[in-house]
Amino acid sequence: MKLRLEKQPLEWIDRSQSLTFKIEGESIPAFKGDVISSALWAKGLKVMGRSFKYHRRRGLLSLANHDINALFQSVDYPNIRGDVVSAEDGLSLTAVNTFGNLTRDAGSLVESIAKFLPVGFYYRAFYSPKFLFPKWESLIRHMAGLGKVDTNWTEERKHKRYHYCDVAVIGAGPAGMSAAIEAAKNGVDVCLIDENPFIGGSLDYQYVNESSLESVRDNLNQTIEEMPNITVISSAYVAGYYGDKWLAVNTQSGLIKLSALSVVVATGVFEQPAVFRNNDLPGVMNASAAQRLIARYGVAPCGEAVILTSNPEGYRAALDLRKAGIQVLAVLDTGRPSHDWYEQVSDLGIPVYKEIQSIEAHGKKQLHAVTFQVNGLSHTLDCDGLLMSVGWAPAGAPLYQAGGKFSYDEKVQQLLPKTLPQGVFACGRINGVFDIYDQFKDGKQTGLNAAEYALNQTLSPCDVLKSPTPHSHSYPIWDHPKGKAFVDFDEDVQLKDLKGAIAQGFDNIELMKRFSTIGMGPSQGKHSNMNGIRILAKLTGKSIDQTGSTTARPMFHPTPVSHLGGMRFRPERQTALHHLHVGSQAKFMEAGNWLRPEYYQSDLNRQACIEAEVLAVRESAGLIDVSTLGKMEVFGPDAANLMDRLYTMTMSNMKVGASRYAVMVDDTGVIIDDGVAVRYSENHFYVTTTTSSSDSAYRLMQKKIVEWGLDATVLNRTGQLAAMNLAGPNSRKILAQLTDLDLSNEAFPYLAMRQTQVLGFDATLIRVGFVGELGYEIHLNASDAVPVWQALMAEGAEFGIQPFGVEAQRLLRLEKGHIIVGQDTDGLMNPFEAGMPWSVHLKKPFFIGKPSLAKLKSLQKRKLVGFELLVEPSNGDSDESPLESNLIIESGDIAGRVTSVAWSPNLDKTIGLADVTMEHVELDKLIHIKLTSGALIEAKVVPLPFYDPDGKRQRPEELLEGDVA
């Protein structure tokens, strides 16, 4: 049966452009502008989907994205909504969640056992005996879900943008359009958002045939088009209202994050289905859906229609159907009408049955007849269309999300906004305003108020325009002993399910929802929540307000992950030397948002590469990029005082030109950072932080300056400066080629700092010993780093200098027993436990965490110790090596863990650090490491450092001066 009508005055389709798509192999003709559902219906294919639980046939219900009866799958996307997705040429679709296809779905066998599957049946079975549950679960999972995911789908990421306006109007129906125009006339920037491709709202499908409105419509459209300060965002919905008037506007191009000063919610109302037996048969639909179908797509909803109504809108639909040439067999009114449209319908000779008492639909695959009762007499009418016009529920999501409150208005029989947050306004039918001219007026008043709010002016008083008569039936629900009266079409929740849930004590709105799953499907209750509330209120004898409603959380419509996630903005940092590392075949690793060379690749395997780098440092020279260290300048009259307060050691007694290890703890005494501090001048220090804490340490320093009221400044120079560490016995010889500075032990001893020039560039040199060799850390402007690195490598070539990476450095420092904060320490470790009591100067009057450390000193329960294996794995029964985080087990209990461990090529043994309880810290004590396999191996507690215990290599001059711990 072809249902395409003659051209309609405001139709959205372009009949000059034909296209074809496929449903389950069948070709469907369509016009440009058709949605999938309208094209299917036009072809007479009224079964557009199968229901979730019983696999019942489903047709059009709302044609407005308030239900998911028409849900499809393509090769590229799951869960395509036929009611709102355009028909595209070449598109090939199948139904979702069928065991077969739309015509034959083996899943419909479920309906034959429906009586065994009452509401919440799955809570009552499948769990005993326990071992069978996984089998049942697998079956349940097989039945669950809608569309299918293809895990090979490629990633899609859409763009997002911010947009700002003074007044945002959500919904471009009669009220929203009027509001936008009025606000714009008051000189503010307006954004008008509508989910349809064209603005107009109900004007364009409910009032198409009201000739008196033609000029009004044209005027509104033209004014909006001409006003430069109205931006129309169409085919876009507000997925959520967030925070302070931020709207997440989802468009087909991507997400617009719209910030407004005031918001007008003119979202209107969702038409609600009536609940009666077989109300889900294809052919039973909302009257507004029928009007949309005719007006937008030029498609007839049926050949012979019966209209069930409780409001004037049902009569308007009857007139529209008649106008489109569709036979209207009868209007069934639940009450006694007295309005103009009723008169018009009567005048056309359409029978009107008043005060009908019950209704029931018949049909196997689709609607064939309607039975209803009037005055106790039963009537049956054969028809293929039953249009429901029994009431409305507010599309209130943005208002709820903004913190607005609704209450039930008995006059209109609708939930209306009761209190709204400042700057948030509502107008139109959501406000209970049903007369079309009142809607214009309400919009206008509200638009003015929204503009006034945005301009910080006093709000003008508003007339109350809400309808004096109800537009919704107070209980559009007719029970039937045989059931099949659906309340939630997504979830196949029937009236009897809700009765069952309530009878069992799930008798408040949230419990009823959670137990019955009403409103939990993809439509999120748009077509079901109001009826659910009415049913609960009725059965518990409470008012609608006492019953309350569930929360309307974002998203308004399900919103694509690709839109919400958007493009990746994940900052990554590169040091000034990055390209040199790339050229040297560095294998990079991530360190926070930095990339650092883990090691430099050669023909050797990873371990051999690392060992070669280690040996180069120990035997001759190595060079490492340490630019990722945090680098802070601290200066000002109170700089020394600040340094004393920030770090556990005294810094104020450091000499100019000296350096000192610096540990920072938090209020509770836990180590949070370490680095090296130098003193440039009386009032000027320079201090490094660990790579990961450069930002947080800087923030903390700034905060403490403010908090303590100190006359000092800290400047984060992390990215502005580069740093490299030249280490090894030949480092002095190499560096000497690039600087005039006297590098002799006497002139530049261990732990000293010198400001000089290297290769003609300003640089700071610090004689540090992190890796335990003679070495110089060179800090300089990032822009000067490349030539200096290249010169050092060139000068070092004759000594076999090697660039070394993070892995080699980790081993070198382990041989020296130096800790890495975050690896050897954990979220609770203090300096005493880290084996660094010397770093805590409790005699200082003040530093962060001092009172905690004063207490913790006597509470020490664990300590970092050095250990070495008694038998190397390679010589033992198995070659399993201990790993970092393997546990220390003593007498069957956990006594600690390995924090660092490695085989040292220099010492020819496996060494490590372990965090152990105080019973096991004595030198030479045997401890037992539990390997990953579970085997225990013995290790011995040994003194630190493992390598060069006297420190002769890092300071061959012996102890001369400087600040030694």
Q: Describe the strand order of the beta sheet including 167-170 as a list of residue ranges.
A: 230-233, 190-193, 167-170, 262-265, 424-426
Distance between CA atoms of 122 and 114, rounded to whole angstroms?
Answer: 13
Which amino acid is it at 311?
N
* Interface with another protein in residues 469-508 (CB under 8 A): 496, 499-500, 503-506, 508
Which amino acid is it at 136?
W
Q: Which of 231, 278, 334, 549 binds another protein (CB under 8 A)?
A: 231
Q: Does 705 engage in binding with another protein (CB under 8 A)?
A: yes
Q: Which of 738, 741, 750, 719 is nearest to 592 (CA)?
A: 719
Q: Does 554 engage in binding with another protein (CB under 8 A)?
A: yes
Give CA torsion, residues 46, 535, 332, 433, to 10 deg. Answer: -100
Q: Does 936 engage in binding with another protein (CB under 8 A)?
A: no
Phi and psi dihedrals of 808, rounded to 5?
Answer: -60, -40
Distance between CA atoms of 868 and 929, rounded to whole angstroms?
Answer: 11
Residues in contact with another protein, counted by CB under 8 A, come to a total of 163
* Interface with another protein in residues 589-608 (CB under 8 A): 589-590, 594
Q: Which of 15, 411, 699, 952 binds another protein (CB under 8 A)?
A: 699
The token duo for 222 is: 């033209």
Pick the piece of the chain touching another protein (CB under 8 A) from 170-178, 244-252, 472-480, 656-664: 244-252
Closest separation in Å from C-beta 432 to another protein: 27
Closest separation in Å from C-beta 711 to another protein: 8
Q: Does 575 engage in binding with another protein (CB under 8 A)?
A: yes
Instruction: Classify residue 954 as left (phi > 0), alpha (psi -120 to 50) or beta.
Output: alpha
CB contact burial 112-128 (16+ within 10 A = b; e otherwise): eeeeebebbeeeeeeee
Q: Does 514 engage in binding with another protein (CB under 8 A)?
A: yes
Q: Which of 270, 440, 478, 515 binds another protein (CB under 8 A)?
A: 515
Contact 273, 493 (CB under 8 A): no
CB closer to another protein, 587 vs 733: 587
- What is the rounded radius of gyration, in angstroms, for the C-alpha atoms of the chain? 39
Closest separation in Å from C-beta 566 to another protein: 7
Q: Does 702 engage in binding with another protein (CB under 8 A)?
A: yes
CB closer to another protein, 608 vs 883: 883
Which amino acid is it at 355?
E
Q: Does 141 engage in binding with another protein (CB under 8 A)?
A: yes
End-to-end, the C-alpha distance of the chain in Å comes to: 94
CB closer to another protein, 371 vs 692: 692
Cis before 512 (ω within 30): no
Give strand pairing partners of 257: 162, 248
Pick the piece of the chain touching another protein (CB under 8 A) from 439-447, 462-470, 652-660, 928-936: 928-936
Q: Which of 306, 260, 263 is nearest to 283 (CA)?
A: 306
Contact 941, 866 (CB under 8 A): yes
Contact 220, 447 (CB under 8 A): no
Distance between CA atoms of 417 and 363, rounded to whole angstroms?
Answer: 40
Q: Does 684 engage in binding with another protein (CB under 8 A)?
A: yes
Which amino acid is it at 17?
Q
* DSSP label of 459: P
Q: Which of 88, 92, 111, 147 binds another protein (CB under 8 A)?
A: 147
For the beta carbon of residue 720, count every other beta carbon within 10 angstroms.
13
Residue showing tokens 């407005």 = 64
Pick the piece of the chain touching another protein (CB under 8 A) from 627-635, 744-752, 869-877, 949-957: 627-635
> Quick one: which H or E segment has residue 464?
none
CB closer to another protein, 782 vs 793: 782
Q: Which of 16, 104, 131, 142 binds another protein (CB under 8 A)?
A: 142
CB closer to another protein, 691 vs 739: 691
CB closer to another protein, 325 vs 403: 403
Closest separation in Å from C-beta 342 to another protein: 38
> Quick one: which H or E segment has residue 772?
none
Q: Does 716 engage in binding with another protein (CB under 8 A)?
A: yes
Q: Describe the strand order of the beta sheet including 352-353 as a list of residue ranges.
A: 284-286, 385-389, 304-309, 327-333, 352-353
Q: Does 641 engage in binding with another protein (CB under 8 A)?
A: no
Q: Which of 24, 880, 884, 957 binds another protein (CB under 8 A)?
A: 884
> Quick one: which H or E segment has residue 434?
none
* Interface with another protein in residues 7-36 (CB under 8 A): none
> Quick one: which H or E segment has residue 418?
strand 414-419
Q: Does 461 engage in binding with another protein (CB under 8 A)?
A: no
Closest separation in Å from C-beta 174 to another protein: 20
Closest separation in Å from C-beta 819 to another protein: 14
439 in helix, strand or coil? helix
In angstroms, what CA-CA distances link 628 with 576, 593, 690? 10, 10, 8
- Residue 128 neighbours by CB under 8 Å, 6+ apart: none
CB closer to another protein, 116 vs 377: 116
* Interface with another protein in residues 532-551 (CB under 8 A): 551
Distance between CA atoms of 317 and 255, rounded to whole angstroms?
Answer: 36
CB closer to another protein, 401 vs 467: 401
Pick the piece of the chain touching another protein (CB under 8 A) from 370-378, 630-638, 649-657, 944-952: 630-638
Q: Does 169 engage in binding with another protein (CB under 8 A)?
A: no
Distance between CA atoms of 622 and 693, rounded to whole angstroms?
Answer: 26
CB closer to another protein, 118 vs 873: 118
Closest separation in Å from C-beta 783 to another protein: 5
The CA-based angle 690-693-696, given to 5 degrees, is: 145
In angstroms, what CA-CA distances link 295 with 224, 233, 299? 22, 22, 8
Closest separation in Å from C-beta 448 to another protein: 22
The token duo for 209 is: 């045939």
Q: Does 887 engage in binding with another protein (CB under 8 A)?
A: yes
* Interface with another protein in residues 197-216 (CB under 8 A): 197
CB closer to another protein, 351 vs 522: 522
Q: Which of 75, 106, 109, 125 binds another protein (CB under 8 A)?
A: 125
The token duo for 720 is: 């502005």
Q: Which of 608, 859, 907, 959 binds another protein (CB under 8 A)?
A: 859
Q: Which of 185, 379, 717, 841 binds another protein (CB under 8 A)?
A: 717
Distance between CA atoms of 206 and 633, rounded to whole angstroms?
Answer: 70
Pick the piece of the chain touching another protein (CB under 8 A) from 12-20, 245-253, 650-658, 739-747: 245-253
Q: Which of 29, 565, 837, 905 binds another protein (CB under 8 A)?
A: 565
Q: Which of 444, 471, 850, 953 binds another protein (CB under 8 A)?
A: 850
| Binding-site string for another protein from residue 52 to residue 81, where x marks contact by CB under 8 A and - marks none | ------------------------xxxx--
Q: Which of 25, 90, 228, 243 binds another protein (CB under 8 A)?
A: 243
* Interface with another protein in residues 385-414 (CB under 8 A): 401
Q: Does 851 engage in binding with another protein (CB under 8 A)?
A: yes
CB closer to another protein, 89 vs 711: 711
* DSSP label of 752: B
Q: Which of 309, 351, 354, 347 is nearest to 328 (CA)?
A: 351
Closest separation in Å from C-beta 141 to another protein: 4
Distance between CA atoms of 206 and 318, rounded to whole angstroms?
Answer: 11
CB closer to another protein, 142 vs 364: 142
Q: Does 122 engage in binding with another protein (CB under 8 A)?
A: yes
Q: Does 187 engage in binding with another protein (CB under 8 A)?
A: no
Q: Does 742 engage in binding with another protein (CB under 8 A)?
A: no
* Interface with another protein in residues 329-388 (CB under 8 A): none
